Amino acid sequence: FYGIMIDAGSTGSRIHVYHFKSLDAENDAMELQSEVFQSIKPGLSSYADDPRAGAESLMPLLDIAMSTVPENKRAITPINLKATAGLRLLPQEKAQALLTEVESLIKSYPFLFDPEDAVEIMEGLNEGKFAWVTVNYLLNTIGQPSHRQCVVLDLGGGSTQI
């Protein structure tokens, strides 16, 4: 199983192409086999006045996804782009124009695209929640009474979450 996440931050965009191995189909348990990571600069918000160029700036990242995910897995590989503070700080119409162009570009690739939430601006509160879950999951502190969970401080280019 593969999954693609694009983090469109204020200072740059980053792609994570994850490859998971199923451990228990009954419980949907998976183990991370590998991750391909790449980043580009500047961030999407730098293209506020040229949304098409903003979308096209993501093409090198999408090309990495194409070269990483086997052809026979692409149609079942979900892809998501979550924008953060850089787009939250733009006027609504400029942010929406960027998202519309990005959505159009991503739809042109053969990955599994959910039009409901595949491309969106993430609320700062959710940024903090996802960071907390990620760190505590990786440290195996979730649901373990003998462990103390970690506090997470995310110092982004355009926002901070605790």
Catalytic residues: 127
Binding residues: 157-161
Structure-block tokens of residue 110: 């053969």
Sign of torsion, CA 49 54 38 117? positive
Beta bridge partners of 2: 19
Binding residues for ATP: 157-161
Task: Tell how strand 160-161 and strand 29-40 pair up.
Answer: unpaired
Rounded Cα distance between 96 and 120, Å, is 9
In contact, 81 and 6? CB cutoff 8 Å: yes
